[in-house]
């Protein structure tokens, strides 16, 4: 296991400037980008594009709207004025049927965000699609069990930040049902690859 490229660049003081264009910006060199298929037919696509989001939208807010299937990743793209003044998000589902069901709920006008009905015109199939994820047993959520004295959030937060850049959806502690001297930390990330997987393998390497 090695720390992520973004962490290495941050430690070295490298700051990458976004390219100047009028389209939403994304990382074309990521592992997720390598899995994308341009103009993938909607009958196979697992990725949705959601535009005109609030300026301070979070990954957690988006994921909280989804109950139709497991999410592989949520990536929020900043707005690019003047053509695209508001953020947009790519939502990659683990399976195509999860994406289809979510899009159906949007088109049925049954979803709301911050008290406003989600405009069905703002959620479409993403031009760069992905097929069903091959490792369906993977998850954005990991569980860590250990002695209570080591199970505090600042310690784990510092450790995870030393491994990779990540967007946190939530974290919570639970009692360990079979051991009073231990407890469980449950952490939900914005994506499987580069976040949940990176932390999982970093912990196993210790």
Q: Where are the alpha helices (H) located in 3-124, listed in sequence order?
A: 5-11, 31-34, 59-64, 96-107
Whole-model pTM over 0.85 = no
Question: Going from the N-terminus, what domains does the chain have, and what CATH number goes with each?
Answer: 5-129 (3.30.70.330), 141-205 (3.30.70)
CA-to-CA dists, residue 155 to 7, 62, 74, 161, 199, angstroms: 18, 27, 26, 10, 14
Per-residue pLDDT of the chain (206 residues; tens, 9 = 90+): 344 444 444 444 444 444 434 444 445 555 556 678 999 999 999 999 999 999 999 999 999 999 999 999 999 999 988 888 999 999 999 999 999 999 999 999 989 999 999 999 999 999 999 999 999 999 999 999 999 999 999 999 999 999 999 999 999 999 999 899 999 999 999 999 999 999 999 999 88
pLDDT, position 33: 62
């Amino acid at each position: 296991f090695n720390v992520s490229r973004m962490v290495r660049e941050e430690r070295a003081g490298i700051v990458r400037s976004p390219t100047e264009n009028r389209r939403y910006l994304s990382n074309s060199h990521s592992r997720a980008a390598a899995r994308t298929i341009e103009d993938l037919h909607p009958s196979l696509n697992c990725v949705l594009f959601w535009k005109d989001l609030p300026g301070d939208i979070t990954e957690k807010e988006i994921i909280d709207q989804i109950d139709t299937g497991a999410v592989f990743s949520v990536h929020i793209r900043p707005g690019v004025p003047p053509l695209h003044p508001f953020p947009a998000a790519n939502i990659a589902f683990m399976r195509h049927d999860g994406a289809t069901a979510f899009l159906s709920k949007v088109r049925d006008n049954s979803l709301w965000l911050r008290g406003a009905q989600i405009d069905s015109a703002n959620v479409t199939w993403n031009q760069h699609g992905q097929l069903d994820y091959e490792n369906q047993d993977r998850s954005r959520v990991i569980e860590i069990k250990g002695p209570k004295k080591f199970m505090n959030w600042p310690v784990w937060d510092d450790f995870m930040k030393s491994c990779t850049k990540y967007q946190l959806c939530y974290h919570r502690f639970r009692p360990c049902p079979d051991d009073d001297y231990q407890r469980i930390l449950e952490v939900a990330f914005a994506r499987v690859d580069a976040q949940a997987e990176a932390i999982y393998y970093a912990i196993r390497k210790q």
